[in-house]
Chain A
Amino acid sequence: MQFKRKDLLGLEYLTAEEINLILETAGSFKEVLDRKVKKVPALRGVTVANVFYEPSTRTRMSFELAEKRLSADVINFSKATSSVAKGETLRDTVENIQAMKVDIVVMRHGSSGAHRFMSEFLDASIVNAGDGQHEHPTQALLDMLTLRQRWGTFTGKKVTIIGDIMHSRVARSNIWGLTKLGAQVTLCGPPTMMPVDIEKLGEGGVSVEYDLRKAVAEADAINILRIQLERQDARLLPSSREYFEVFGVGPEALRAAPEHCLVMHPGPMNRGVEISQEIADGDRAVILEQVTNGVAARMAVLFLIAGGKIEEDDIQ
């Protein structure tokens, strides 16, 4: 099968087959990352612009590495403030970047739907590196790649996502991706951070559980979200110490989970707030594996968006 989409706006818009294709392709690219010479010519001659309207360390470096590993030409643009505050509209900025003959725009933006909006104007492909509180598809893909390598399949697997669900684009993309591939998702977090009707999101199999111990009791993996204080326009929590008491994952909370339960975190972590030191560094944590897989997952996305088909040549 060939990936026919021009843009990657979110996992909601992809079929299970398309998600599987990305994960399979990522698996092939992951081998490249273990080689001595970690570079393939797959995107030679392709120019990618990383346009970041929000601060990012991991995602931006990960994309840039993925692009370089694929031999793409890379330019970076970052602006901490919104385009509106700057006086130039987002449309103007990105159209200017496109005018420099860019093929793919990787964009992070604080406004939900910003990528959808830009796709109305751009001929270049758009890859969503996070839009507001909507989707962060490549994060979910790398999370899923990590789980797939351990499990082989998602059918019947249970993943619990813990934290600020309301403001989390990671949660939304994970819900879409995991449920499309047959996993069940349990959401756990304070009700002030649980958006209305979230159980209806995804393709069935989403539930909400406010008791952390119950929420992890049958989990094959838990994904712990960062408490994003900068996204809160009202105080939704009394304090971080109370948060840790109720929803923080420490040794005691993890004892409620099955032995084989994996611990994930999209980073950056607030140790002592949503996750304890022991758990973050513990043997169930696959947090750094996620980071490695991020490069492979993004290589796969960029490669497929650029119209690539997996041929032996591409990964030689």
Chain B
Amino acid sequence: MISWKDKKEFWIAGARIADPAAKKIRSGCLLVRKGAIAEIAWQKEVDTDLPVLDAAGMLLAPGFVDVHAHLREPGHEEKETVATGTAAAAAGGYTAVCCMANTDPVVDDPSVVEYIRCRAAEADNCRVYPIAALTKGLGGEVISEYRLLRDAGAVALSDDGRWVENSRTMRTALEYAGMFDLPVVSHCEDHRLTANAQMHEGFQSTRLGLKGWPAAAEEIAVDRDVRLAELTGSRLHLAHLSTAGSVKILKAAKRAGVRVTAEVTPHHLTMDDSMLETYDRNLKVNPPLRGGTDIAALRAALRDGTIDCIATDHAPHTEIDKQVEFNYAPPGMIGLQTAFALLHTELVLTGELELVDLVRLLTLGPAETLGLPGGRLQAGDPADLVLIDTDEEWVFEKEAILSLSRNTPLVGRRFTGRVQGIFLEGNWRSVILDG
């Protein structure tokens, strides 16, 4: 595995290739030429004089795309920077990451979009697509300059972390964003129903004496936003869906032809509120970890296509941020580095989700959701790929965390299936294999 490296043209041979568009995993060989996918030969071997990367036993797929991550720069470089966040992303198999607007300053000015893109280009770990603020200063009242933000490179609009409570502002935002066909990403939470809430409202919140965040607070918000999307005909994307009721509303909306998509996070698919009995602040997330019925509904919605993609909601916080009483700890966990391994271990190997579907939900699904390039295996497209050993057993060690923050409950967890590295425009990036 040496000769092909840094070559302008080489074959990746012998891998199982996951093609999310064709919904198939087949043996094949893929030719990379000048950073692009040149050709895919659906056969086990190639007869060639070009350098060959022998990827026998590996899974080759389009690089993962995350539509929801917090890279914290500018403003909170003590938690994460664009460089460290994208390093973690690349290690997790991501070739593209969308970063949220709740930075300081907020991404409500084209200069901030440009700043983030510059930082991403310097780091050169993976592609970064900034999401701009839906309203100025995330204030929920005045819409931001969508056209200028888009021209600077913003791919979507969101006040993530806050729901736009004012229905009239939300209608205006959707209508105006519709002119540029920019998706509006909504964090659905009726904040009055969740005031001081610490965790999912249910038996566990009663037991632990922590204020509950009722499922209805999300569903009320989802319902209103879906109705406004229907009213305006604009594109609505629902961030981190977490309840069975939300899935129901989403399903009905899709059936009615509303232009709505939704994401779910790896943690909402694999962790429940009973885990909070240790008061582990790393399990405090927003929306909160839910109960078994919700998890089952989210998994079913992944299988039947109601939910379009998996997004990490990678939310770094420092050890000091989290080393406080539960109700003072900020919500969020990191997830870019572990998303695939966690989902492969807990959903694919248990037979709940087909491997090709997991790949689709991490690639084509998110790319189509926000209308991004990537996520496909098309000749002529940039060779943004991920190479995975689906059999490798490994333990996620704290020292291996590339994110600047280490707020994850998954330290010490044993996984099966490990991302070996990515190709970004044909260039190999790996933290565990030097190629």
Task: Please report A residues at the B interface, Cβ cutoff 8 Å.
Answer: 12, 82-84, 89-91, 109, 111-114, 116-117, 131-135, 169, 172, 195-198, 200-201, 233-234
Contacts and interface: CB of A to CB of B under 8 A. Distances in A.
B426 to A, nearest CB: 47
A38 B209 CA distance: 37
Nearest to B210: A112
Contact of A111 (B205, B212, B326): B326
19 contacts: A112-B208, A112-B209, A112-B326, A116-B278, A116-B279, A117-B279, A117-B281, A131-B209, A132-B327, A134-B208, A134-B209, A134-B210, A135-B209, A169-B209, A172-B209, A196-B203, A196-B206, A197-B202, A201-B207
Given A117-B279, A196-B203, A233-B196, A89 B323 contact: yes
B208 A84 contact: no
A196 B201 contact: yes
B324 interface: yes
B324 A84 contact: yes
Interface of B: 195-196, 198, 201-203, 205-212, 278-279, 281, 320, 323-328
Residue of A82, A195, A200 most packed against chain B (CB within 10 A): A195
Contacts of B323: 89, 91
Contacts of B198: 112
Contacts of A133: 209-211
A132 B195 contact: no
A134 B211 CA distance: 10
Given A116-B279, A234-B195, A195 B205 contact: yes
A89 B208 contact: no
A90 B202 contact: no
A197 B195 contact: no
Nearest to B201: A196
A200 B203 contact: yes
Given A117-B279, A132-B209, A172-B209, A112 B203 contact: no
B212 A196 contact: yes
A172 B203 CA distance: 12
Contacts of A12: 207
A119 to B, nearest CB: 10
A197 B326 contact: no
Residue of A12, A84, A132 most packed against chain B (CB within 10 A): A132
A279 B195 CA distance: 37
B324 A113 contact: no
Given A131-B209, A132-B210, A233-B195, 20 more contacts: A82-B328, A89-B323, A89-B324, A91-B324, A111-B326, A112-B327, A113-B208, A113-B326, A117-B326, A133-B209, A133-B211, A134-B208, A134-B209, A134-B210, A195-B205, A196-B202, A196-B212, A197-B203, A201-B206, A233-B196
A250 B281 CA distance: 44
A142 B176 CA distance: 64
A285 B206 CA distance: 29
Nearest to A195: B206
Given A196-B212, A198-B206, A109 B201 contact: no
B145 to A, nearest CB: 37
A258 to B, nearest CB: 29
A91 B325 CA distance: 9
Contacts of B206: 195-198, 200-201
A8 B211 CA distance: 23
A169 to B, nearest CB: 6
B205 A84 contact: no
A14 to B, nearest CB: 15
Contacts of A83: 325
A231 to B, nearest CB: 10
A111 B328 contact: yes
A233 B198 CA distance: 14
Contacts of A196: 201-203, 205-206, 212
A89 B203 CA distance: 30
Nearest to B192: A234
B210 A113 contact: yes
A29 B93 CA distance: 64
Given A116-B278, A233-B195, A234-B195, A90 B209 contact: no
A111 B196 CA distance: 12
A111 B327 contact: yes
A201 B205 CA distance: 11
Contacts of A117: 279, 281, 324-326
Nearest to B212: A196
A133 B206 CA distance: 9
- In order of increasing CB-CB distance, the 9 nearest A-B pairs are A134-B209, A113-B279, A111-B325, A133-B209, A197-B203, A112-B209, A195-B206, A113-B326, A114-B325
B324 A90 contact: yes
A259 B63 CA distance: 75
A116 B210 CA distance: 13
Contacts of A112: 198, 208-210, 279, 326-327
B46 to A, nearest CB: 56
Contacts of B211: 133
A204 B328 CA distance: 33
A233 to B, nearest CB: 5
A233 B203 CA distance: 21
B399 to A, nearest CB: 20
A290 B9 CA distance: 84
Contacts of A234: 195
A113 B325 contact: yes
Contacts of A195: 205-206, 212
Nearest to A176: B207
B317 to A, nearest CB: 14
Contacts of A114: 325-326
Contacts of A131: 209
Contacts of B212: 195-196
B325 A84 contact: yes
Contacts of B195: 233-234
Nearest to B207: A201
A12 B211 CA distance: 19
A59 B325 CA distance: 22
A284 B195 CA distance: 41
B251 to A, nearest CB: 26
B275 to A, nearest CB: 13
